[in-house]
């Protein structure tokens, strides 16, 4: 139970571990629905990831991981493919492209031809995982916060800046499809990227799951 402290009640470590467990449960449920085709669950994934990971500079929002000191101690699983030197094509670090009767992005989860690495939180959170080669760069932090703060996680922003519009429309990656569903850009790269981020996040905490 929270402990009385002046006008407020202070959550105990056990309370915070319970809140961590809740958010992990939300992520697992949304992952399950996403994998069944409910792609907009990526927005819920982003909201939970924000709760667990994001700290604001003014300390008005402090992540669960920070409050439990997990962020400083944990090494985060990095499943991003390497961006080859001299590569002029758009870099899509966390997604694959599936071809056939239709063309679409997909989240590879553990199906990677290389071993995963582990990174400090700051390196993992801020690493570039999307690059359109025209100056538009996206980190995990960018994708999570745009989905959570502007695209329906906690708020829907009336205005969409050009960079984010190009991301959600598929224009930023520039891969075109010409199939039975019509012509256009392959879209939803941000949703499949978010699904892979959630997979990395759950793998990162596997060894401490028994604590909560």
Question: pLDDT per residue over 5-25, tens digit each?
Answer: 666 777 888 999 999 999 999
Residue 204 in this model has a pLDDT that exceeds 90 = yes
Whether the per-residue pLDDT at 101 is higher than 80: the answer is no
Q: Helix H segments across the chain?
A: 13-35, 41-53, 64-67, 70-73, 121-126, 140-150, 162-169, 189-204
Please, what is the Cα angle at 197 between 193 and 198, to 5 degrees? Answer: 120
The answer to whether 80 and 94 have CB atoms below 8 angstroms apart is: yes
Phi then psi for residue 169, to 5 deg, are -85, -15
Position 38 pLDDT exceeds 90:
yes
Q: CA 140, CA 128: separation in Å to the nearest integer? A: 7
Residue 90 pLDDT > 70: yes
Q: In the structure, what pLDDT confidence band is assigned to residue 57 with cuts at 50, 70 and 90?
A: confident
pLDDT above 80 (res 80): yes
What's the mean pLDDT when you consider all of the chain?
Answer: 87
Instruction: Measure Cα distances from 202 to 21, 67, 118, 146, 195 in Å.
Output: 11, 18, 13, 21, 11
**SS3 (DSSP) at 183:** strand
Range with top average pLDDT, 23-27, 131-135, 153-157: 23-27
Q: Which residue has the tokens 């892979």?
A: 196
| pLDDT tops 60 at residue 180 | no
Considering only CA atoms, give the Rg of the chain: 18
Q: What is the mean pLDDT of residues 56-70?
A: 86
Can you tell me the distance from the alpha carbon of 89 to that of 73, in angstroms, rounded to the nearest whole number? Answer: 36
């Amino acid at each position: 139970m929270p402990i009385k402290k002046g006008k407020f009640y202070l959550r105990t470590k056990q309370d915070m571990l319970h809140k961590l467990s809740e958010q992990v449960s939300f992520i697992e449920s949304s992952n399950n629905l996403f994998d069944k085709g409910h792609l907009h669950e990526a927005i819920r994934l982003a909201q939970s990831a924000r709760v667990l990971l994001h700290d604001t500079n003014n300390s008005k929002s402090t992540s669960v991981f920070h409050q439990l000191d997990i962020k400083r101690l944990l090494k985060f699983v990095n499943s991003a493919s390497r961006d080859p030197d001299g590569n002029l094509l758009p870099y899509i670090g966390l997604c694959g492209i599936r071809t056939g009767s239709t063309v679409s992005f997909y989240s590879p989860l553990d199906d990677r031809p290389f071993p995963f690495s582990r990174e400090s939180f700051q390196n993992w959170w801020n690493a570039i995982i999307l690059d359109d080669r025209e100056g538009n760069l996206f980190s995990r932090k960018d994708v999570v916060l745009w989905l959570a703060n502007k695209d329906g996680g906690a708020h829907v922003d009336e205005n969409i800046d050009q960079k984010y519009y190009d991301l959600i429309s598929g224009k930023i990656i520039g891969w075109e499809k010409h199939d039975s569903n019509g012509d256009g850009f392959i879209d939803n790269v941000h949703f499949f990227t978010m699904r892979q981020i959630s997979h990395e996040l759950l793998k990162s905490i596997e060894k401490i799951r028994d604590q909560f």
